A and B are shown apart, each in its own frame.
Chain A
């Protein structure tokens, strides 16, 4: 009996695929494993392979057609064998209890492809490596395996950096430091394509921008209270200091945004070093607050004042303005409501801070006056995708709107 060739789910999120090109044509002999066609998925062009031996009897779908996962796209069988949809004398429908493929509702079809697609989300790792990864909090998908067939083994995890904990685990606000400052991850096929296409479109660093408005009322209250506590000579904490701390803590949870683009790989930093844009007489410089996630607001305040002061008098040492993993630019003091900042490569992101202004905002059925801040993140699309940036901003917003979270 002839075998159906289904559109397979070639990526975990694929729901339909566009049949780009048939590599085999009707009448061609095929062997299990041969590439039948190229299929464009949501992510890439991938190969649809034969799961049976014989002859490609019938192609059901012309090139260029988009087909839901699970639908029949071709038939493989013995030469001369008749198949459904052949146009010629197909087996009598009554004798074939299986419904005719093309009449099936796509949703029903999708649920039961005859050949289970390869589970591309499965991670090959030894039981011991899995236990170590779980304990240490390493995402095995990011680890290059050196065992048989690329299996991740214990050796691959020795000194492996920790990644943000799984969603079920309580969030860690301080990056678990393993002594490894960063991890280099080779560019995947899809990241290579994104990097190439977007750079061609918008310039070497394909920026995109995400803006969010943040309620700073509680942060403002906290700031006033803290400054009162610190007294006159304790040094003041600014909104900028609070934002730097919040950005650093949010980056600990979103390592995907704390990264450098390095042509053939992405360097994911386990340490958080925040560059702080400071305007100087004939330009701009970004002194770096190192390990900002591990410093107190008071330390950040003191350090940023000190660094900014020396920046303006041009007395910064090179190591004090290089090596940032992410940057913050603030034009709030110039009454700028909102702006976009330019990424400082090889960093992949920068947040632009507007001024904190009192606004009338709805609160249930009332209107109240709240201090609000508009913040825009510039992302390097080669590293950060829209959703990646958005979830980072969500965490940042939550922190600023509930500054007590920073104490966790």
Chain B
């Protein structure tokens, strides 16, 4: 095996493998160092298997309501183990897909844990590889516990998504700490499979980075289906027993205890910056622990770049994808368009789905922007009524003067698919008027996007 490449990428997750493909496309000889399976957290223990499980949960929930639609199913049984095994097959297919892409682009995959060394070198085991042009660090992130309050991940009673994804059977009770995307999605999955779920969020509302109205719809929807949602809650103490954990919680001035087994930690991730030789190469970290990068994603050591979760928030696969492609182009001497970090869509795939782009209404207020909110509920949308998916809305925040789309929020079935119309619009600086001018097919849920645009102009048609 050759030990000299134009580009060596440390980490074969979304940011890393896309960087490798784009580098190879640009004619650079490329190697990827990966200690586990290609595809990283996203493919193996993140985005992909959770989507498989969420679909299982969705089927379970629609079957419970199917009688109303004229389809009677008796004796519905759910088996988390079967759903889990299916999700593993999906992950494996995707990981193999990445392997295939590496072969197709003649990218060398080096198995092992890489450590960067001065002189653009990467050590894997006993072997030292040299990069002629650049070393790209894409080592990603991992789940973390909160050891300060006794919630260290022990993989049995205090678990992370890594273990939750591999459970053979659904637990009777489950407490989830953190109601961001990960916590919301697991609450949805386990509730549908029959667990009694308690969802605990420290900030005043669940989905704290989303628009407050989105949070409200989800809190209502979750409570309706029996999930115990406790927001603005501080876990003061955790008592970890043999198969149960007791949590002391303070919420709204009241103290209470929640006992569940296990507890799923979904409150943030830690970046993988330890023991990979950063300090020795002069690669500095930010105050928050991410690798410090300039606008070209180059670290404080010339020739070393960082992309994906290690390079800073938002810690999302699609942000890593884009950084991977852009950094490859920069290394190849091109001048790619700068990444618009304020135009990265955010999606939570719970039911109903939550998707957003740009500013929330509260952020518009904080920035003292002169805005108008246009909103259209799916309860007034023909297609949504037809499928019985009337929860949620489309909300567009329009700059009052120029019609710029400051932010957009969708809660509802298929919100994850509908948000992209607004991503394209914002990327190209279309105003709400262009959204309206584009004819939306009838009947579709996307019509609600056009109607929300019209509502922001005071011209909504269907309410």
- Interface residues in A80-128 by Cβ distance below 8 A to B read 126-128
Is B58 among interface residues, defined by CB-CB distance under 8 A?
no
Query: Could you tell me if A131 and B402 are in contact, using CB atoms closer than 8 angstroms?
Result: yes
Query: Could you tell me if B337 and A126 are in contact, using CB atoms closer than 8 angstroms?
Result: no
Query: Could you tell me if B430 and A127 are in contact, using CB atoms closer than 8 angstroms?
Result: yes
Q: How far is A135 from B402 in the complex, measured between Cα atoms in Å?
A: 8
Q: How far is A132 from B404 in the complex, measured between Cα atoms in Å?
A: 10
Within the complex, the shortest CB–CB distance from B82 to chain A, in Å, comes to 48
Please give, as numbers and ranges, the residues of chain B lying within 8 Å of A154 by CB-CB distance.
404, 429
Number of interface residues of A (CB under 8 A): 10
Is A288 among interface residues, defined by CB-CB distance under 8 A?
no
Question: What residue of chain A has the Cβ atom nearest to residue B402's Cβ?
Answer: A131
Please give, as numbers and ranges, the residues of chain B lying within 8 Å of A148 by CB-CB distance.
337
Query: Could you tell me if B402 and A132 are in contact, using CB atoms closer than 8 angstroms?
Result: yes
Please give, as numbers and ranges, the residues of chain B lying within 8 Å of A127 by CB-CB distance.
428-431, 433-434
Q: Is the interface of A mostly helix, strand, loop or mixed?
A: helix
Please give, as numbers and ranges, the residues of chain A lying within 8 Å of B403 by CB-CB distance.
128, 131
Number of interface residues of B (CB under 8 A): 11
Q: How far is A126 from B431 in the complex, measured between Cα atoms in Å?
A: 9
Please give, as numbers and ranges, the residues of chain A lying within 8 Å of B431 by CB-CB distance.
127-128, 131
Interface Cβ pair total, 8 Å cutoff: 26
Is B256 among interface residues, defined by CB-CB distance under 8 A?
no
Please give, as numbers and ranges, the residues of chain B lying within 8 Å of A132 by CB-CB distance.
402
Query: Could you tell me if B337 and A128 are in contact, using CB atoms closer than 8 angstroms?
Result: no
Please give, as numbers and ranges, the residues of chain A lying within 8 Å of B430 by CB-CB distance.
126-128
Q: How far is A408 from B159 in the complex, measured between Cα atoms in Å?
A: 75
Within the complex, the shortest CB–CB distance from A130 to chain B, in Å, comes to 9
Q: How far is A127 from B433 in the complex, measured between Cα atoms in Å?
A: 9
Question: What residue of chain A has the Cβ atom nearest to residue B426's Cβ?
Answer: A128
Is A129 among interface residues, defined by CB-CB distance under 8 A?
yes
Query: Could you tell me if A128 and B401 are in contact, using CB atoms closer than 8 angstroms?
Result: no
Q: How far is A148 from B428 in the complex, measured between Cα atoms in Å?
A: 9
Query: Could you tell me if A135 and B404 are in contact, using CB atoms closer than 8 angstroms?
Result: no
Q: How far is A135 from B431 in the complex, measured between Cα atoms in Å?
A: 14
Please give, as numbers and ranges, the residues of chain A lying within 8 Å of B433 by CB-CB distance.
127
Please give, as numbers and ranges, the residues of chain A lying within 8 Å of B434 by CB-CB distance.
127
Query: Could you tell me if B429 and A153 are in contact, using CB atoms closer than 8 angstroms?
Result: yes
Q: How far is A20 from B439 in the complex, measured between Cα atoms in Å?
A: 49
Within the complex, the shortest CB–CB distance from B189 to chain A, in Å, comes to 40
Question: What residue of chain B has the Cβ atom nearest to residue A126's Cβ?
Answer: B429
Please give, as numbers and ranges, the residues of chain A lying within 8 Å of B337 by CB-CB distance.
148
Within the complex, the shortest CB–CB distance from B150 to chain A, in Å, comes to 49
Please give, as numbers and ranges, the residues of chain A lying within 8 Å of B429 by CB-CB distance.
126-129, 153-154
Please give, as numbers and ranges, the residues of chain A lying within 8 Å of B428 by CB-CB distance.
126-127
| 15 more A-B residue pairs beyond the given contacts A127-B434, A129-B429, A154-B429, with a C-beta to C-beta distance below 8 A | A126-B429, A126-B430, A127-B428, A127-B429, A127-B431, A127-B433, A128-B403, A128-B404, A128-B429, A131-B402, A131-B403, A135-B401, A135-B402, A148-B337, A154-B404
Residue contacts A-B, CB under 8 angstroms, 12 given: A126-B428, A127-B429, A128-B403, A128-B404, A128-B431, A129-B429, A131-B402, A131-B403, A131-B431, A132-B402, A135-B402, A148-B337
Closest 5 CB pairs of A and B: A126-B429, A128-B429, A131-B402, A128-B404, A127-B430
Interface residues of B, Cβ cutoff 8 Å to A = 337, 401-404, 428-431, 433-434
Interface residues of A, Cβ cutoff 8 Å to B = 126-129, 131-132, 135, 148, 153-154
